[in-house]
């Protein structure tokens, strides 16, 4: 998947039935990171998708 933004990562996670919204953006980013790691560790997503999503989330975290 061609992810370029935070929104794209949200849509990517929705493909796996993961909907994250706590009302706190910091918590959302941490939960999304944990979910991506779990998906990757279980072999459900490719390494490239995992790394791209993590980089997007880290950039988003820096901008907060």
The CATH number given to whatever domain includes residue 39 is 1.10.287.760
Say if 1 falls within a structural domain.
no
Say if 12 falls within a structural domain.
yes
Chain position carrying tokens 């039935």: 17
Whether the predicted model's global pTM rises above the 0.75 cut: yes
Say if 50 falls within a structural domain.
yes
Q: Determine the Cα–Cα distance for residues 47 and 41; give it in Å rounded to an integer.
A: 9
* pLDDT above 80 (res 1): no
Q: Determine the Cα–Cα distance for residues 59 and 45; give it in Å rounded to an integer.
A: 21
Range of the domain at 31: 6-62
Q: Hey, how many other C-beta atoms are within 10 angstroms of the C-beta on 41?
A: 10
pLDDT per residue over 34-62, tens digit each?
999 999 999 999 999 999 999 999 999 99
Count of the separate structural domains present in the chain: 1
Say if 41 falls within a structural domain.
yes
CB 12 within 8 A of CB 53: yes
Angle between the 25-41 and 6-14 helix axes, to the nearest 10 degrees?
A: 50
């Amino acid at each position: 998947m061609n992810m370029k933004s935070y929104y794209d990562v949200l849509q990517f996670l929705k493909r796996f039935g993961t909907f994250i919204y706590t009302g706190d953006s910091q918590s959302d980013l941490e939960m999304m990171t944990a979910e991506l790691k779990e998906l990757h560790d279980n072999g459900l997503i490719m390494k490239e998708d995992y790394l791209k999503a993590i980089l997007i989330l880290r950039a988003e975290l820096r901008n907060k």
